[in-house]
Chains A and B, each alone.
Chain A
């Protein structure tokens, strides 16, 4: 057909609203458990208390941006240890690669906040308006009291969930009980209210109205995932060789010439993305598994084996069509690629844990002052200045002792301190101006540069750290 005798379709399309039908089954049950688990974690974690002593916050998980500290139960991360966070992010990335190469868009289908909150919002909609057909009827109906009442109630509940979502986010960044009271008494910071407002609105709009459009138009991750799947990746598909040719049941019986698909549209009606899985894997599919539940239920009812729609890999399809059995799930999951991802993931994880346990809870950074490189004193002594930052990553104040090795010529003193000891408060840091001096007649006094190692140790424990630097002599 030629295009000349047709009017081109509109460049813009209105969204077709989707009214997923209720479904029962193992995937649905698992998704409910995951939803409770993940929302539970999200809402409860900021309220867990963790005693760290009198000078420290007692919140188990706290991202204290103002004081630049990150608390996670017994672990405390300082800004200079941010590589832990970077490591966790890399692990999260590799974890996603692993799950995507093994199980396709499993993140999208079960764990993504967009999916979880949309699931919750659809359930709210179902409670208030009824199942698919009732919702469809209400949607097509002109505005009347019932529609206003039900829509109003639905939007109110959505909005309250949004407020709870946005509010809970803030609790990760401040003391939760204090912020909770402050939010309700109007004493919280403007930024806190803005955060709650923005996250309330994103939750409300994304979960209530945008839904599948976020996945289709806004999110880059599905597109990246598509590129990471291969022919061994397990994903949801329709066994067309078993189901086709599809046809309705006639007098409650299947025609022996027809396939198992009775074209009941159950898989289409439950789909939160509004697609027909029988067209094969497609861009919109988040692999939530609900069509599997819906189809299995129907297969049970018409006395056919389950699995007309199910998890399978592309490589299985040809084998299965040829009558051979499907490869086991474990063979799909344990492949060189997934083993490589797992090894990388675990390697970084182990390295981080080891780093976490061997790190000292004190730290020192030494910055030689090089303006000027050295100073000659009246008796000919040469002096170098170092800006030394001591960090006491401990919940009690401790006394630090500075000392030097590797260079017997030099002696150390601290500006404004009578000795070489200094007390640093609990979980605090201090910046010291430290002098190293080489008396006249010593090698370090006249040499260009000479090496020196500066130690910071703690009197009350065996912990100590060092930093290597150089001392500039008068010929520098």
Chain B
């Protein structure tokens, strides 16, 4: 960095630690880099790797559930797999992938030269790696990885002796991941609020930037609460406090309240940037401005606000007073209103549009349809009396996988197809892309749709073995799971292939027809140069803020 400081006076002062001669040579570049594009790439590749690690764990789960009885793994390891699959996918794959997209896209979209705090940006990434490695290390410990579920409910993690070794590592890992995401969030807020091109007002910002701004506030508000909750677990286990230990006057139900006060906003942390990407992609392929821009912003903000006051719908069966059940039931159902506004707007954006169906658009349309289904089952479970039947069954598993896999994951795939040509300057192979889409879209439904039936019939979640009447749908679900898992290797191939040159077709600066009307990033050259927007753009596309007619 000393070179950068010395150069400071000689260069224009938008760059404080840029080197005009491009990236450093060799592997060290990736370790010391402070360039938002490099860090974005690191985040995305790391998330992709974790997607396959978490995915392999899901394959173990589906293999064990292929038939009733115990075939491949012992129950404790099975429980470790469900716990680790969730933790790895949430904290290692989905969240870092969106942070990666934020790193790449936010500066390009708002006309900033880099993120506001580039060195902290580097640190956030490497703390994430440290956190995930710490978590992964528990797999090799005596007694195995944490196996009490990703929620780490106290009776399950405090009482057994078996998780004694892994628990502190899992907790410190959560601390590191939390600090990493809080730093990332601070960086994103500072970038968006302080570094927009002067011509860009808040209500000119692309929806992806808006959703990330709101998500970043959610992160800052709830990650520390989770850190506090797991710290209490840690002191309960090792330092004789009794926050959740009934023997000392503590209350395990208190943990559930604190956890879900974090946990519910957390699920929106994973879905709001998804909404942002969908709102970016759909207008481009519908060749129309986004319908209802302002209502999209307000809907996002309302969902974020509501996420703080509905947490106890995760614990309807815990023995709450009737007034509490009613309040959390109605508050939860209200969320369907802003979410409905969003689905309406995406549909209205496509209405009478000159649509084409390239891979990113296919994934986005599938997202709108399948996410809506996940939303509907959410509404079913919001109804407290019905939830007593759905609680802790495969119905909830089906519900949240519908809102995460064909929603967040599909949109991450869409984002990859949408922006990879811009980042690399190479076009991906459309045929393989479409094949990847159709295989994924069909198999994801074979995988998760039968789980609704299993849940309604009463199959509990988190069990390695099950009663014989659940056998058929479990087998079908597992077959869907294997096809879905294998299909994702196509995506891995496409990413590799596109970086290496893709179809060989040179992409234009816009990549997609008239994309420059929709976002600043498409006015830059393809591939995007290492340094961009040293001088902020004079004007910003405003088409997306105009009301459609």
* Co-assembled chains A and B: no
A residues apposed to B, CB below 8 Å: none
B residues apposed to A, CB below 8 Å: none
